[in-house]
Structure 1
């Protein structure tokens, strides 16, 4: 795995050994759910990510990080890009040590890690926070979602939600471009006629999220040819290309959509909420570093949908190093 060097825990230092850990009771259930979106991870990488997650969430072997800032991320490429951007910007502006604890196994794990002070901040999506964490019904209004997330995260969790980074990474229902053109399909409401002959594919968490599969098929009155094929997100595009599935729950900023000539069907019935990327920060970190909020606000509205898509493609399609991709983006933006 190309990002193994960025794993959040230095296992070779011998600080903690997995066999010596006390596993939280909810870990097995949490590890089934691999995040809002899962990137292209090998089996070894998944194992490394899960071990790293356990090391972060368990108590008794984490040193104090009062003199540094710990940045986390979930376990897919876009999250790592965003977390690296945040980390580099903090290092450049605040001149403090930043520890990277990337590849946490999903939304719930990342949320628990920031609550437990195992990380100080991580990038999240407003729609995920609103539906998966706060358990609210999906809402299409981006301002309503952001304001409620910001208010409730502070009230319930003592977490500060920083202003959006600029792009919206909503779920995207993706099919082969040639097939969409042949059938004349551009909207999800047109899929009902063809869905009984289609196989649907998605990531693990999409099946269980309140804004996921069940509500999606109800809203659009869809019936598919059998149960959904559940797999890592990175494999979904290969499965689409190889005709193993016909419609997939991807992401609006996936770099492989254009590269593989895929088509995104418009969510014309407005099922999916907005997924604006926002930094989530533990209030304790803001007290330790009073300039942290101002520094993070420097990144507000700096990333367009197209820019995020290009960075994702640089990592997933061109196999470039995340650190270099982020450094070039910061230089281009004058950050």
Structure 2
């Protein structure tokens, strides 16, 4: 099963109509214009990109919407004519849109490519080795080029605890769990979703790697969205989360370190078609300064502004880029809209 599709696929279905992305038998619509205007900041106009039409896509969950708009504002500041095709339902559909030239730019995750798109079952623990393997395989097999990778973003699985449990049990990392199970079995409860319960890179794999077996009477299978609140209110001690989800910050959860690097790496990079990157290699120089500023912490904050505070992803994306100095607001425009 496609990991990104299964955990996020239904999250933003309503946004498809808002962004003008319509999946039909003939593919995607031609896209809309960039929702907000920007002017160059540290991203300067690139002569080779002036007036070049570039279509930006994204998947249909919060982080991808924010990243899609970030890409649009970056390219706009560089002088490209940008088309908006954000909020494509499902990872497989977004990837197919890239390969078929319906979109030109898509932020994506190395783990998604390695496991979901290319069918590998064993992740590569080292982030750089994983990226190099994905980059080589995608280029040779699919004509997809990766660039502007950031290892500071890794949207992968994790376990979290609330702050009271962290203090009471003294847990910092996943290798602390076996001790909790042995010494305080009543505290060793888990909240996980149905897919994580059976995946090799989910609960069975974690148990094998870290050398414990959870009491199944203390394992609650919940919907992904309800796990965060259940962990915060103590319904379970250990809750499965995704490392850039804004609810981690909003609920003040503590993410346990994966000290044996079991979970697959889901580092973030720009994907495009190889022929397009060869024609416009300047795309890399546009996105590298953006990638340098993207971290899990920054995405946590931006995702929380959308999911918790109800802000529009385009507003959040532009505000972040202005704060980072990457772009500027048009003359006289206020920061909010």
Global fold match (TM > 0.5): yes
Provide TM-score, normalisation by structure 1.
Answer: 0.75
Matched, 1:187 2:173: yes
Give 1:230 shift: 4.3
2:216 is aligned to 225
Give the match's secondary structure for 1:84: helix
Give the match's secondary structure for 1:60: coil
The superposition leaves residues 276-315 of structure 1 with CA deviations (integer Å, 9 ceiling, x where unpaired) of 2111112354467564344233423121332222212222
Aligned length: 298
Give 1:121 shift: 2.5
2:96 is aligned to 112
Matched, 1:146 2:131: yes
Matched, 1:177 2:163: yes
Given that residues 164 and 276 in structure 1 are in contact (C-alpha distance below 8 angstroms), is that contact kept between their aligned partners in structure 2? yes
Give 1:39 shift: 8.9
- In structure 2, do the counterparts of structure 1 residues 243 and 123 end up closer, same or farther at CA, with 3 Å as the change threshold? same
Given that residues 71 and 99 in structure 1 are in contact (C-alpha distance below 8 angstroms), is that contact kept between their aligned partners in structure 2? yes
Give the match's secondary structure for 1:140: coil
> Which of 67, 75, 87 matches 1:102?
87
Given that residues 160 and 281 in structure 1 are in contact (C-alpha distance below 8 angstroms), is that contact kept between their aligned partners in structure 2? yes
In 2, Cα distance between the equivalents of 1:219 and 1:191? 12
- In structure 2, do the counterparts of structure 1 residues 253 and 34 end up closer, same or farther at CA, with 3 Å as the change threshold? closer
- In structure 2, do the counterparts of structure 1 residues 228 and 117 end up closer, same or farther at CA, with 3 Å as the change threshold? farther
Q: How does 1:57-76 map to 2 (within 5 A)?
A: 58-60=24-26, 62=28, 68-76=53-61
In 2, Cα distance between the equivalents of 1:298 and 1:133? 27
In 1, Cα distance between the equivalents of 2:73 and 2:192? 35
Given that residues 166 and 300 in structure 1 are in contact (C-alpha distance below 8 angstroms), is that contact kept between their aligned partners in structure 2? no
Q: Which has the larger radius of gyration?
A: 2
Task: Provide structure 1 residue ranges, at least 5 long, that are not aligned to the other structure.
Answer: 1-28
1:321 is aligned to 312
Give the match's secondary structure for 2:153: coil
In 1, Cα distance between the equivalents of 2:239 and 2:220? 9
- In structure 2, do the counterparts of structure 1 residues 117 and 309 end up closer, same or farther at CA, with 3 Å as the change threshold? same
- In structure 2, do the counterparts of structure 1 residues 244 and 38 end up closer, same or farther at CA, with 3 Å as the change threshold? farther
Provide TM-score, normalisation by structure 2.
Answer: 0.75
Give the match's secondary structure for 2:145: strand
Given that residues 140 and 271 in structure 1 are in contact (C-alpha distance below 8 angstroms), is that contact kept between their aligned partners in structure 2? yes
Task: Provide structure 2 residue ranges, at least 5 long, that are not aligned to the other structure.
Answer: 32-51, 327-337
1:8 is aligned to none
Give the match's secondary structure for 2:290: coil
In 1, Cα distance between the equivalents of 2:153 and 2:281? 28
**Segments of 4+ moved more than 6 angstroms:** none
Given that residues 165 and 299 in structure 1 are in contact (C-alpha distance below 8 angstroms), is that contact kept between their aligned partners in structure 2? no
Matched, 1:213 2:199: no
Q: How does 1:232-311 map to 2 (within 5 A)?
A: 232=224, 234-286=225-277, 291-311=282-302
The superposition leaves residues 210-255 of structure 1 with CA deviations (integer Å, 9 ceiling, x where unpaired) of 53333223212332435652423x3321232344443222122333
